[in-house]
Amino acid sequence: MSELRRDPITGRWNIINTDEPSGPKDFHLEPFTPSAAACPFCPGNERLTPAEIYALRPSVSAANGSDWSLRVIPNKFPALRIEGELGLRGLGLFDLSNGIGAHEVIIETPDHRRQMADLTLPELEQTLGVFRARSLDLRGDRRLKYTLIFKNFGRDAGASLEHSHSQLIALPIIPKRVMEELKGAARYAEFRGRCPYCDMLHQELEEDERLVAENKGFLAFCPFVSSFPFETWILPRAHHSDFAAITQEGLGDLARILKDVLLRLRHGLSDPPYNFILHTAPIEPQPREEYHWHIELTPKLTQVAGFEWGTGFYINPTPPELAAKVLREVAI
């Protein structure tokens, strides 16, 4: 019989197939076929993108030249724009505002053939450091309330270009999904006097069934209430609500465990498309002490269909206990 499992933070239920679980060979993935079109993210094609916001390059080189190691640009087709006024207003029972925010693209490497899993540890630490730097910089804009950093790898995960890149979208509101996590964490903390994510870390270490990798600063595991097969979370051992407060040492530890997990997903699941989402607290004067920032990595192995849209439940064919065992045993 399958199991219904409830997330203690958001209250959402998922259905986990524990009777006939699916392993890596049960998922069909289309082979990745590189595009023959000119890539706007490759060196020499800087004219094809908006002017850069930020870049890592030799100090003597000019902006928007081709000798960069990492580049941040505005999205050419932004979901939100930084220019203008917020213009909050009502229209009958509806609320409206102008599409104010920021939409940036972080091009992680000049090499078209390399993906995030291929970056060296210093390169990956550098990329994570730019995530932090851009998050901090955008806090100067008082219109912005939340900064989301994410990566879509592969066409099935929503990537329109194969050149390795992540995205940052800063919003003038706190998203509903984030509010659910914040409110759920606050309820848990009020009742138990502890952070639910810290309790989750302690339980994963104690049970040792769903661990994928660990190091001095971080733990990677397949969560007990996984929504998707081989979903993997990375949490800092030390409690903190704000990713942007991470230290340089923390960036190094995060780079090591992130590369470890990415390589396990690549070799264990035949390089699947995936979504990488960095969950952090909103931009606020006072920290959300009950919250705990983390990264969620979700391989795109199944489709969200009518049942999921109609109920908010997810059907996961691979128990997290099996997923973690498979990933732990991958040789990297």
How many Å apart are CA 76 and CA 60, to the nearest integer? 27
How many Å apart are CA 102 and CA 113, to the nearest integer? 28
Q: Is the dihedral of CA 77, 78, 82, 86 positive or negative?
A: positive
Angle between helix 176-192 and 196-207 (nearest 10)? 80
User: Pick the catalytic residue: 103, 112, 163, 165?
Assistant: 165
165 counts as catalytic: yes
Beta carbons within 8 Å of 297's beta carbon, 6+ residues apart:
231, 232, 233, 234, 261, 262, 265, 274, 275, 276
Q: How many angstroms separate the first and last alpha carbons of the chain? A: 34
How many Å apart are CA 240 and CA 294, to the nearest integer? 9
Residue 148 half-sphere exposure toward CB, CA atoms < 13 A: 20
How many Å apart are CA 271 and CA 119, to the nearest integer? 15
Q: Which residues are catalytic?
A: 165
